[in-house]
Structure 1
């Protein structure tokens, strides 16, 4: 029987099952192939039975044998693991599951189900440079496609780090202006005087330091798209000039009496409600109505946790390439840990964390332990956060004061655990048991929240009733907490 690499022309859209068996002496051997997989490999199923899987799939990346062993050792199935069985062949998605014992009870069966990732499935988890398969992100993708061809102004709302500029770029790429310039400026990153100069340009000698004439973003983006980030914080006098440009399409440079006709589509972004800014006279009502023709809201990452594993995988691939690393995947524990965190910094924070662990990685798989130092830093950050006196009990905690929450599951229930206890997950201790809050953690949260138990429970990442149960268990009173 001759080994060979299967032709990609005969790759099935969905590969059938490959079942391996671990015999008593610990060597993986092939139990059976499905007919379609046997045809693709060009191997007679009868001849393959009992053959060394390590020999047949020696070039699999990541190691198919290590994945199967991990399932048995951890007692947990793996799903959607990207794997390449042979060099220069496309990747499969693999589900590895424990399938029982052999007839003689000397070996354990592991079923490996392989399937190809189709173009359609890839489109479902991303759009342009955006990644997501949650209902909220699919709505964002739909609006981008719907609003893209329009020239109407768009306001993008969402928390800091949610990806507002990526949405603006996607709108530009979906528009008829995609061949022209996409320009972006942060309205809070430069001083008020320089902001006007950067937007509208200036003439030579218009102010001290203006040694030559300067074309502003409006002139440079003529025919294209101008993205105004943090537009809600734009100074009022600059808002007036922006309104005039939107009304007549003419830009007047600082220090000039002449106007230039421009054709620019405006996309603005804000992490503060513009309606509130208008009510507080920090934003012009007429400019608000001019800008808020179309709106796209990007949900916070904690509101679409099903997208976290997809984003983590995308960042893993990016930083693997950037730093020439060989990391293949995250372990299930690592993914659960990432999905447990509330991500106050949203996608930007997730990207930074993944970059860190990839740089530090020395193995093919990144586990929960790799995040241990980061967890400790988050713990210190949470303990040093300002008191939450002003937060009403009925209101959600502000995004920059959210705790880290690690859900732990036993046979009866799920008990959320604060960042104070997160080292249990990172170290691997306590598997299969529910982690408990300590008196020190509760006391620190209670004092940080000014004696507000509801706010303290929120800070610890637990329900108020759960906090009361912990207080009863520890025989702690309010007086003792103070």
Structure 2
């Protein structure tokens, strides 16, 4: 079956330039349509399906920037590549903000144009493929060590499953300890690059002077102590994924160099002049609000929009309390096995304390506290006194009463008794019972069915 040529809409009010592009791009095997201003382009998009739009940013009647929101509103997935003779950061960033897939500076570098068109088609092709395969993606998706069943985690894994097969740059944001590195690993190992390397670097853990060498490598003699050539993380990650943790801590001069790599897909070692092409997918993470950092002049706006193609915001543990008991149980089992301890579970008061606590250090704090409790425990059941947690007055309200703690009973029996007791205390009011128990109403109904308590 002969594949139909991809169709590109060229939008430019400069007839000579438009004709030149049409002739050149046709030689690369594309079908071409033309428009001489933004209004004509909007009408064309409504009348015909295009694979890519190549549009000038400044035109006499309606500019590319004015037309872009209308085009994206009608077809949000179509890649729009902006051409501009104005290489200012403000113009390029405004185009990216409005939904442009990429921008090119005039006069155009034809090899770069050819590569950009190819990458845009690959990107849009993956989006269409993801639409067709979304239902089966979750069946194939490997969560790795991402644990949780709360709505927030279910939504997160669905988005990861969609974005992983693409080449899109991903920015993972969230508080410290929420699991950003785990998400980066899940993206890599569910991507076509999973057989390639996953290289990680913490930008906050390396001094400004060494960060450039760590990322790009250096030549022998480039600086004092450089006694031999060293390959940087970009070369090590070639064919795979590079994870830049704490990207918000990167100094501004390095941000400019990173932006160039994202644009050109090539690096130069410190002290060298050879240009080295790199094929790397970028995943970055931060616990900062980068949008605020941009406003404060602490982070480059153009780099922010280059990194933020897909934004994954990880919820703090206090916003996914349904997952605390599951996480705690998994950590307890793992650390008990690792430390050869015979620990059966948590008392109801212990689990009640864990669920009510706000966990400022998130999952990492929970994991560390469970490990400490397991190592120091002298009994088969972890009690609230095994955890160095102080609940606020509000968090202590409606705690599970002491008299239902029965350390000699299996955990499921104690949980059953706790639920039955709370229902009795609330006169059968399930909403009030679930609130006092620190669980959702949905979880309460699930437990009632599981334990055969009248629902």
Normalised by the length of structure 1, the TM-score is 0.53
Q: Please show how residues 108-127 of structure 1 align to structure 2 within 5 Å.
A: 127=143
Q: 1:186 to 1:403 in 2, by over 3 A?
A: farther
Q: 1:287 to 1:312 in 2, by over 3 A?
A: same
1:244 aligns with: 260
Q: How does 1:26-175 map to 2 (within 5 A)?
A: 127-175=143-191
Runs (5+) with no aligned partner, structure 2: 1-138, 402-420, 423-455
User: In the alignment, is the contact (CA less than 8 A) between 1:158 and 1:270 conserved in 2?
Assistant: yes
Secondary structure at the aligned position of 2:244 is classed as: strand
- Tell me how large the CA RMSD over aligned residues is: 2.5
* 8 Å contact from structure 2 (residues 171, 283) kept in 1: yes
Contact kept in structure 2, 1:340 and 1:407, CA below 8 Å: no
CA deviations 1:34-62 (Å, max 9, x no partner) are xxxxxxxxxxxxxxxxxxxxxxxxxxxxx
Q: Give the drift of 1:403.
A: 9.4
Partner secondary structure for residue 150 of structure 1: coil
Distance 2:188 2:316 in 1: 22
Q: d(CA) in 2 for partners of 1:289 and 1:361?
A: 49
Q: Aligned-pair distance for 1:409? A: 4.7
Selected match of 2:201 from 178, 182, 185: 185
User: SS in structure 2 opposite 1:302?
Assistant: helix
CA 1:403–1:237: 2 relative to 1, 3 Å: farther
Flag the structure with higher helix content.
Answer: 2
Structure 1 residues 300 and 203, CA, compared in 2 at 3 Å: closer, same or farther? same
State the secondary structure of the residue aligned to 1:188. Answer: helix
Which one of 222, 225, 229 corresponds to residue 213 of structure 1? Answer: 229
2:396 alignment counterpart: 406
Q: TM-score by structure 2 length?
A: 0.56
**Equivalent residues in 2 for 1:439-454 (5 A)?**
none
The correspondence for 1:364, drawn from 380, 383, 396, is: 380
After TM superposition, give the deviation of residue 180 of structure 1 in Å: 1.0
- Within 5 Å, which residues of 2 pair with 1:459-470? none
* Contact 1:340–1:404, Cα closer than 8 Å, also in 2: no
CA distance in 1, matches of 2:198, 2:346: 35
Name the CA distance, whole Å, in 2 between partners of 1:279 and 1:260.
34
> Deviation digits for residues 66-98 of structure 1, max 9, x if unmatched?
xxxxxxxxxxxxxxxxxxxxxxxxxxxxxxxxx
Deviation at 1:336, TM superposition (A): 0.7
Q: Which residue of 2 aligns with 1:478?
A: none
- Tell me the equivalent position of 1:257: 273
Deviation at 1:339, TM superposition (A): 0.7
Flag as ranges the 4+ runs of structure 1 deviating above 6 A.
none
For structure 1, the 5+ residue unaligned runs are 1-122, 380-401, 412-430, 433-482
Q: Is the 8 A contact 1:249 1:262 kept in 2?
A: yes
Q: CA deviation at 1:408?
A: 2.7
Q: Is the counterpart of residue 331 in structure 1 residue 347 in structure 2?
A: yes
Tell me if the contact between 1:130 and 1:166 (Cα under 8 Å) persists in the aligned partners.
yes
Q: Is the 8 A contact 2:352 2:400 kept in 1?
A: no
Alignment partner, residue 317 of structure 1: 333
Partners of 1:364 and 1:260 lie apart in 2 by 58
Distance 1:351 1:404 in 2: 24
Aligned residues between the structures: 266
CA deviation digits over 1:146-176, x for unaligned, max 9? 0000111000010001000000000001100
Are residues 1:234 and 2:224 paired?
no
Q: Hey, what does 1:277 align to over in structure 2? A: 293
Q: Following the alignment from structure 1 to structure 2, what is the Cα–Cα distance between the partners of residues 256 and 405?
A: 59
Deviation at 1:188, TM superposition (A): 0.6
